[in-house]
Structure 1
Amino acid sequence: MGGRLRVPRTKRARALLAVVLVLLLGGGTAGYFWWKSGELPDGVAFRVGDKMVTVDDVNKEMDTLRALYGVQRPTDANALDRYWRDGAKAQAVSIVLDDAARAQNITIADKTARDVLSRYIAQQIGEGPSARDEFVRALGNAGTSEQAVLTEIKRQLALNQLFDQVTAGQTVTDEEVRQAFDQRRAQLGTPERRHLRNIVVRTKEEADQVLADIRGGSTFEDVAARTSLDSTRTAGGDLGELSSDQLDESYRGPAFSARPGTVFGPVQNEHGWNVGKVEQVLPPIPAEFEQVKGRLKDTLLLEKSLRVWRDWLAEQIKRADVQYADRYLPADPDAPPGDDSIPGNAPAPAGPPR
């Protein structure tokens, strides 16, 4: 018979074959050609196993990440291309991790996720029904929904539990701690810190006016309360004491070269145009073993856990059979993503979306 298809003779068997063919061919020739060629159907960004994720799905997920974490869509063409490729990969890995969490019977109750969201709203906006209503309206303006945010919170909470399960059993000896201290002594000390204030506005013209107002005699605190887009405006733009590595690359240079008591800027970054002030300079403090050994041990334990996690995740990605459309194909599809895939290292919430 070679490769010929033997047609069943009974009506029941023929009906069953018809159903199978409809499922296999996707109801038409388009599904047949996808199955035959291995290419994804139009409108599909990527596939994980038998799960298709559409371009629209990717867009909605990126809107949720923008609302919750402040992940902004670039305007530069090359950066925008990387944005879509990296975004698709992050979502594909999320699906892989979701499947792994379900396989380990990890579930997050709705109430747990809602409690986390309520705390977030209270911290960012305030208490009570009006604060939640404001948050939900802001989500709608950002193109996402409360349910999408709750789904993301559940994913992060499940990821925490999965990480603990995968990396269980890692230990660090006292000898390893002492050796690491000797090797990292310079980095373990407290670096120079600066007590900073900051004002964020939308345009350079607005930033220039902020500088003019301050130099004209207005206090930094009053101008921040009146003009800043940042949530610190109610505290006079107070950012607290920060080291240089806690600041955006474009911001740290001016902030750490200005003299105490002086104003610097305008400086542009992803949040807008910034005008800052150095309130105080705190000199570096050398590390003492007894003071840092606990923190250092935690760091070494995390580093060991991350190596285990990344090796495990790389294997999961390879086994997941992920296929990307050309526009969404990342540079290295099988490599684990960056630190955002690590529990606790997701981008910090950026405050209520506007």
Structure 2
Amino acid sequence: MRLSRPVPPGLRPLLAPALVALTLTAACGRGPAETPPEKDDRIVARVLDRAVWASDVRREAVAQGLVGEGEPLDASSELFRRVLDEVVDQKLLAAEARRRGLDKSPAAQRRLEAVHERILGDMLVEDVVSDAVSDQAVERLYQEQQRRAQTTEEVRVRLILSHTKEQADAVVGVLGQGAAFEAVAAQRSTDDATRYSGGDLGYSTLDVLPAPYAAALRGQAPGAVVGPVQTENGWAVLRIEDRRVETPPTLDQARPLIVRYLTYEGVRQLLERLRGKASVELLLPSSPKPQAAPAPGARPAANPASAGNAS
């Protein structure tokens, strides 16, 4: 099974007007045979003797974000009928605009050309990138990453945060007398996000914890209480609840990220090749260099004209 051809998120804002315009103008280019634009497509309406295809309605639904790219849209559903009404309205508006000659103005021609270029660019991206984003490519990259990945360890940590070192030292003293860490966290921790769960930070790898936490926890065994540790938000007392080997994501869990990477990499390589072969000249003036901000407390430079008037 092949993956649906993903559209890079950076291009999606451009697709909505493009797909609407395609819905408006596609009928003009069809011959009398009314060849289906897609396999197993069917006519769902006629507007001014022009066919409206089910794929036209699905494209409009995708452009509006009502269904995902590649998702089916049941022609018997209420959503399909609602979007079909909108497509019919758009075709009627476009036909009336052409009758009034609005499509002949230079401004209209430029805008239609821009829409045309957006559609062709997106179709090129889909065509080129689809070969790179296959089930085989996704699994191959997943296996490669699994081979390269180092087995990492996760730690489950509890936290009691205090405003001052003196308060944190007092927490250490109370814990040393046998008080339950969870109870002290609920009573004294200033971290509202964790105090009501006994200070539980859950499982995480050391590299995602704040640097002071990671340095204090490295090499400590489960059950160890460390701190006080100074952080940006105060003084922390930590306890290691557990250590375990990190479970790598499954292929299904990693698939969206891999597909996104392969898509962006395909687009990057395509644009790199096109720019390397094309002549592109930017006619903008060079950007002015940003002025350095004045030092705190520095007096602004005197205006020569005002200085002269003051004398």
Query: What TM-score results when the alignment is normalised by the length of structure 1?
Result: 0.38
Q: Relative contact order, CA 8 A, sep 6+: which one is greater?
A: 1
Instruction: Determine which structure has more spread, i.e. the larger CA radius of gyration.
Output: 2
Query: What TM-score results when the alignment is normalised by the length of structure 2?
Result: 0.42
